Amino acid sequence: MASVIMAPTFSSLSVSRNGRDWSERSGANAQPRGMKVKAMRVEKPLEELYQVRVERKVSQERLAELGVSRWSMWKTGKCKLPWDWQVDQLVYIEEGEVRVVPEGSQQYMQFVAGDLVRYPKWLEADLWFNGPYQERYSFRAYGDD
């Protein structure tokens, strides 16, 4: 969901000899004659839009607290992998990087070694790996943090 803000465009601004040709209105609604106000969309970050949570450069203390060393490990090389999450999944990236392109999106999220990423249930995306990649992962029940 995008927020809408109003921003002026100055494509047809007219200026008089004294430098300002203001419209008849005064106060907060006064604007130079010919000035157009157009709505602009401010997009939320993809992580927020798709409810993907990420912690960057996670400390060893945090990893120990979560028990990451006991999680399952997964490795791959350069490839593209279509994926859909049937449950919440917590992933710690040990090596490499991944670009996550949500289904129907032209944009991507990028996660790198040292990131702890929580993918929500029902997310569908293409995962792009540009080289060696290794992660530890844990499936989570709803409400587990």
Q: How far apart are CA 144 and CA 130, in angstroms?
A: 31
CATH 2.60.120.10 fits 46-139, yes or no: yes
Does this model's pTM top 0.75?
A: no
Q: Report whether 84 contacts 135 (CB < 8 A).
A: no
125: tokens are 């995306």
Query: Domain segments of the chain: what residues?
Result: 46-139
Q: What pLDDT, on the 0 to 100 scale, is given for residue 74? A: 97
Phi, psi of 42, rounded to the nearest 5 degrees = -110, 110
Tens-level pLDDT at each residue, the chain (145 residues): 444 444 444 333 344 444 444 444 445 555 555 555 555 565 788 899 989 999 999 999 999 999 999 999 999 999 999 999 889 999 999 999 999 999 999 999 999 999 999 999 999 999 999 999 999 999 987 656 5
4, 39 in Cβ contact below 8 A?
Answer: yes
